[in-house]
Structure 1
């Protein structure tokens, strides 16, 4: 195999990977819901252990004032001072940032 053929194959592979990545982001601009949940769980674990968690896998529309953004709704529970405390959150489906957090 010639070096030229090898380099042509590498460049073609890199270009194909880039194109597939760009197309897949346009088709589904949202982050994976499980990844969003894992990031939020990691943030909660910094405060202490968590007991359970859940997330809706389909994005929903969040309305606040005049803003509408696609969000994932979910929740986390943990034990504080011997009692279970539940939190519900709304995370931006595009970035994974928490836009609302309520202690239930």
Structure 2
């Protein structure tokens, strides 16, 4: 293979590999449920037991290790009126499905 063809091949291969990595990253990120949709689902669940005063969610999911299994989750919080004043809860939800995984009072 002439020197010129080898260089062209290597440049093409490097460009192809870089494009593949970029496409894979964008595809994996786009497979997550949007955080706004997850927050609405969680709020709707809480509203079954009364009104919700406030809520928040992290816009970027984070990797959490749970008993040896790694999962991408959104973390957030909900507040609602209670008998003793405002009640606050933190939650985590699966970023791929939007399923509520954990709720803890604060």
Residues 14-49 of structure 1, C-alpha deviations (whole Å, 9 max, x = no match): xxxxxxxxxx86551100000000011001001000
Instruction: Provide the alpha-carbon RMSD of the alignment.
Output: 1.5
- Picking from 76, 79, 92, the partner of 1:77 is 79
Residue 30 of structure 1 pairs with residue 19 of structure 2: no
TM normalised by structure 1 equals 0.73
**For this pair of structures, how many residues does the alignment match?**
81
**Which segments of 5 or more consecutive residues in structure 2 lack a partner in the other structure?**
1-25
3-state SS in 1 of match to 2:65: strand
- 1:86 match: 88
Structure 2 length-normalised TM: 0.71
Q: Distance between the aligned counterparts of 1:103 and 1:27, measured in 2? A: 30
More deviation, 57-66/24-33: 24-33
Q: Kindly name which structure, 1 or 2, has the bigger radius of gyration based on alpha carbons.
A: 2
Report runs of 4+ in structure 1 exceeding 4 Å deviation. Answer: 24-27
